[in-house]
A and B are shown apart, each in its own frame.
Chain A
């Protein structure tokens, strides 16, 4: 069974540009999460989908970040326009239907904003 996949693995963009990150969860997992780790800090929660619905977006830093999960399958996280402080590693995770299940993580996307 394929794990969580993320694309791209690395992205280098200039300040002001737009970047879209993609996450494909484990097939059949209703729950999808985005987290990020900025340099020197702990991993922080960004948001949580159940199927196509946003359940919790309390961790989204500002309105430059937009997440979607069309059809309840893959998800995208768009940053527009990117700022220097957005640099970090963005992780996606998924878990089966229900509360408190183990979250399985993708390899992450390393974003560098110059």
Chain B
């Protein structure tokens, strides 16, 4: 059974710092992995989708990496801003079905 873990559960850093959020999964038979952000009381915004054959994917200040064999993904945020404050979630899409399996998220606070 696939399990997705995100550590830490919460992170607070000063504005301007580069930071890394971690996501690990127990079953490497994934098709792809998505990173999302959720603002308080709002929906889920897809940030990046990285296919199992890819090593990384970039969008603006965000860079997601994937090491499928070791069961790890990271989301790198460069030059953090207060507007980056949100909960970041990773979800894996298995080879075998359509559902996403989710981590619990990392709550990120960027201090001005």
Q: Hey, which bits of chain A sit against chain B, CB under 8 A?
A: 31, 33, 35, 41-45, 48, 55-56, 58-59, 91, 93, 99-100, 102-108
B103 at the interface (CB under 8 A from A): yes
> Measured between alpha carbons, how far is A43 from B99 in the docked complex, in Å?
11
> Measured between alpha carbons, how far is A30 from B97 in the docked complex, in Å?
15
Chain B residues within an 8 Å CB radius of A56 = 97-99
B31 at the interface (CB under 8 A from A): yes
Verify B99–A100 contact, CB threshold 8 A.
no
Closest residue to B44 on the A side, CB-wise?
A: A105
B60 at the interface (CB under 8 A from A): no
Verify A106–B98 contact, CB threshold 8 A.
no
B110 at the interface (CB under 8 A from A): no
> Measured between alpha carbons, how far is A42 from B89 in the docked complex, in Å?
10
* Chain B interface, number of residues (Cβ within 8 angstroms): 24
Verify A45–B101 contact, CB threshold 8 A.
yes
Verify A42–B44 contact, CB threshold 8 A.
no
Closest residue to A6 on the B side, CB-wise?
A: B43
Shortest CB-to-CB span from A57 to chain B, Å, is: 11
User: Given A42-B103, A59-B99, A102–B49 Cβ distance below 8 Å?
Assistant: yes
For window 78-112 of chain B, which residues contact chain A by CB distance below 8 Å? Answer: 89, 91, 93, 97-105
> Measured between alpha carbons, how far is A36 from B101 in the docked complex, in Å?
12
Most chain A CB within a 10 A radius of its CB, from B49, B99, B105 = B99
Chain B residues within an 8 Å CB radius of A43 = 89, 91, 100, 102
B32 at the interface (CB under 8 A from A): yes
